Structure 1
Amino acid sequence: MTLTVLAIDDSPTMRNMFSLALAHEDIVLHLAEDGAAGLDLLRRITPDVVISDINMPDLDGFGFIEAVRRQERFRTLPILVLTTEPGPELRARARAAGATGWIVKPFDAQKMIRTLRLVAGSGG
């Protein structure tokens, strides 16, 4: 099954890593540099799953997740948080905002691909 993934991260290096990690998979990847750009892309695409960084300019990951969850059509869209910060307070805050799961950077590409397929198949 082809997955459509929206990956949001302000780091060009991380966006490049997403592209490299998912290049040989049956995945259509859309990239955004911050939450505001991610919301703009969501006006044009309907991904199967979103991966979002937390600390970004303009609109951070928490604000992005909250804005997505306010939209009826995205209430069950799986959103995975990808960050360098593994603290339980941030995890709880991400869950409260509506995040589906959490991946700590640096990520293992094969594990991330399995997680993407798992959460996309479950519908959140």
Structure 2
Amino acid sequence: MKDFTKELNFKTSRSSGAGGQNVNKVETSVTVLWKVEDSEFFDEDQKVLIQNKLKNKINAEGFLFLTVSESRTQLANKKKAIEKILEIVDKSLFIHKKRVATKPSKGQKQKRLDNKKKLSDKKENRKFKF
């Protein structure tokens, strides 16, 4: 996992929710912003991959942004925001292997046919015969 925290910008705002009077006067919610295109830590292919996989989290100006307001302290929210954005970017860089289609083996085919035959015989034996 690459640590590109030096490229992150932070904005604070007032959180909503529990906290009493603290909510009304302290800016504890943290929004982390990262300009994907200007990153020096990733090459062009990686930037394109990040932009494609996280396009719903990137705004029109090209900023990947994430807001955290889970904790009642700004510092805790900032740490959580850094962890989350590093994790999201790391996951977006993972490339899944292509699945190679395979045919069923002769043994599997025979087993399936045997099971069908057993079931057919079982149902045939249930019929009333004179």
TM-score by length of structure 1 reads 0.29
Structure number with greater Rg is 2
Q: Pick the structure with more strand per residue.
A: 1
